[in-house]
Amino acid sequence: MTRKRAILLSQGDEVITGQTLDSNAAWLAEQLTSLGFDVVLQLTLGDRVDDIAWGLELGSGRGDVLICTGGLGPTQDDLTVEVVAKVTQDELSLNQATLDHIQALYKSIGRVMPPANIKQAMLPSRATILRNDWGTAPGVQVEHNACQAYFVPGVPREMKALWKHRILPDLQARFDLPPERLLVFRCMGVHESKLAELMAPFQDRHGVVLGFRTMLPENQVKLRLSAELPQETEEALREEALQILGKNCYGVNSGNLVQVIGDLLRERKETLATAESCTGGNISAQITSAPGSSSYFLQGVCAYANAAKTQQAGVPAELIQAHGAVSEPVAIAMAEGIRERAGSSYGLSTTGIAGPGGGTQDKPVGTVHIACATPTGTHHIKLALRGSRERIVSLAAGATLDMLRRHLQGLL
């Protein structure tokens, strides 16, 4: 089955100049790929009529589907609809239903619609209008150069809602798409280069496309499988990959690390507390980002100063004086202390030097001690991390969470 080709356009001076990160294109590319499209081109265009028209002509000539985000607002630099009409040789006309919808949105918040918003109701007369129930700018759909082109707002919340409720159902109805067959192995504690080495046997397998993705602090291995491969082959590939990846893989097509940990704690009816120094609350923020975390997460303290380590986590002051705050004994005492004070099943701790200053010859920047106190003993790891302050914090938090995951899965 020949895979259909998709093109992504991102429009706006704020995007092309880097003032706004283009997360829309990455998100849409992932959605389209999972549907069975080949995303063959991504373009970022500024707020200029000629450039937008050129991008639309180029993209629609190369793809079966084109999705453009941005340029649908009420200001003079929002030019997408004007260009769509120009390229498709259509005329802009007032779409009364859209105008009524915009006016109703303003009325619902007790405001009168500004005259500038009338511009958002001036739409190509032959286009299909994609009603936007999440904002003022409607989406627009046209066919050009035998390509289905969809134009949606650049606001991520609105873009994602229009994708789910307008674009996705239309694509599924129009195209005979191959079923998605993707195995994503989520890994911690192993570098991407090492993963590439480990997974080399999959590089030239028939019907298998091997890929990698880094999402600090984890790395992912992706096996995209041909629709023609038998189900038993998929299962064999899955098991072979798991054998190779071993303890480093925490899930296949699973939620993220904190979701996996949360599920394990919930199943075991166990609880967790944290005492963080160099990670500054990053771990507890990640844990509580998961819905339902209140059922297993009891408390988190940010014990940054030495006195706070004593007051909040019960670390003896003499222990800090003897070994220094960044040390194995203090990390262990923090984990055990917060576990005891919270009355939790597990206690996690971090203490280290995130930089860029504060390092010494014995304890350079990136030196981090982490610990996990459990009902059967305490695990400790000394980390030697490199990079920016943000990178060190992210890696330290990830390693600490992964230590708990490995304990819960019986891998330590």
What pLDDT digit, counting tens, does each position of 272-289 carry?
999 999 999 999 999 999
Indicate the helix (H) or strand (E) that contains 391: helix 389-408
Strand 122-124 to strand 128-130: parallel, antiparallel, or no bridges (unpaired)? Answer: unpaired
What pLDDT does 179 receive?
A: 67
What pLDDT does 36 receive?
A: 86
Bridge partners of 129, per DSSP, are: 140
Task: For the chain, list the domains and their CATH numbers.
Answer: 5-174 (3.40.980.10), 182-252 (3.30.70.2860), 257-408 (3.90.950.20)
pLDDT over 60 (residue 211): yes
What pLDDT does 218 receive?
A: 97
What is each CA distance from 208 to 211, 237, 251, in whole angstroms? 10, 9, 20
DSSP three-state, residue 224: strand
- Helix, strand and coil percent figures for the chain, each rounded to 5: 45, 25, 30
Q: What is the DSSP letter of 246?
A: G
Rounded to a whole number of angstroms, the CA Rg of the chain reads: 26
- Side chain identity, residue 271: T
Q: The tokens 């700018």 sit on which residue?
A: 137
Model confidence at 227, in pLDDT bands (50, 70, 90)?
A: confident
More confident residue, 22 or 180: 22
Model confidence at 226, in pLDDT bands (50, 70, 90)?
A: confident
Q: In what order do the strands lie in the sheet with 208-215?
A: 208-215, 218-225, 182-187, 249-252
What φ, ψ does residue 388 adopt, rounded to 5°? -70, 170
Indicate the helix (H) or strand (E) that contains 93: strand 92-94
Model confidence at 247, in pLDDT bands (50, 70, 90)?
A: very high
pLDDT over 60 (residue 80): yes
Dihedral sign for Cα atoms in the order 254, 259, 265, 268: negative
Model confidence at 228, in pLDDT bands (50, 70, 90)?
A: confident
State the Cα–Cα distance between residues 114 and 111, nearest whole angstrom: 9
Work out the number of other CB atoms within 10 angstroms of the CB of residue 237: 18
DSSP three-state, residue 102: helix
Q: What is the DSSP letter of 376?
A: T
Q: The tokens 């699973």 sit on which residue?
A: 254
Q: What is the pLDDT of residues 321-378, one digit of tens each?
A: 999 999 999 999 999 999 999 999 999 999 999 999 999 999 999 999 999 999 999 9
Q: What angle do CA 218, 221, 227 make, to 5 degrees?
A: 145
Nearest Cα neighbor of 349 from 408, 281, 290 is 281
- Side chain identity, residue 141: Q
Length of the chain: 412
For range 154-158, the mean pLDDT:
96
More confident residue, 178 or 220: 220
Indicate the helix (H) or strand (E) that contains 205: none
